[in-house]
């Protein structure tokens, strides 16, 4: 699992590449926690390189969403591949995340 991070103004962009499963979950959770530094936190997660997400990966995102909500921040997602999008639809995670087509719109929505 590759995790890259950059900043666009007040928004932290995290790019995930590979498989977000129980093996990768701890590292992703740590990286996302570090990205929550802003007050309030503003995150855009680019999942264009994400090939797979499991239940453990969903838990990481849920914990992140809860932290962001408590801090009155914003988190947006973009670039979901069809199989990843299916998991979000079936699990109802598409109802708690703002999902966008590309990084530009995800960053704009996170501002």
Contact positions toward another protein, by CB under 8 A?
21-23, 25, 52-56, 58-59, 62-63, 65-66, 69, 86-87, 90-93, 95-96
The nearer residue to another protein, 2 or 86, going by C-beta atoms, is 86
55 contacts 23 by C-beta, under 8 angstroms: no
Least Å distance between CB 1 and another protein?
A: 14
Sheet of 2-8: strands edge to edge?
2-8, 11-20, 42-53, 74-78, 98-100
83 contacts 89 by C-beta, under 8 angstroms: no
The nearer residue to another protein, 21 or 48, going by C-beta atoms, is 21
In this structure, the number of other CB atoms found within 10 A of the CB of residue 101 comes to 10
Least Å distance between CB 74 and another protein?
A: 13
The nearer residue to another protein, 62 or 108, going by C-beta atoms, is 62
């Amino acid at each position: 699992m590759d995790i890259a991070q950059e900043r666009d103004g007040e928004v932290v962009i995290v790019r995930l590449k590979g498989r977000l499963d129980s093996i990768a979950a701890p590292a992703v959770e740590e990286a996302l926690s570090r990205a929550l530094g802003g007050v309030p936190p503003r995150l855009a997660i680019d999942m264009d390189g994400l090939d797979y997400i499991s239940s453990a990966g969903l838990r990481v995102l849920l914990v992140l969403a809860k932290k962001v909500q408590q801090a009155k921040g914003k988190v947006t997602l973009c670039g979901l591949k069809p199989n990843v999008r299916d998991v979000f639809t079936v699990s109802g995670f598409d109802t708690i995340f703002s999902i966008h087509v590309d990084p530009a719109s995800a960053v704009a929505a996170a501002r």
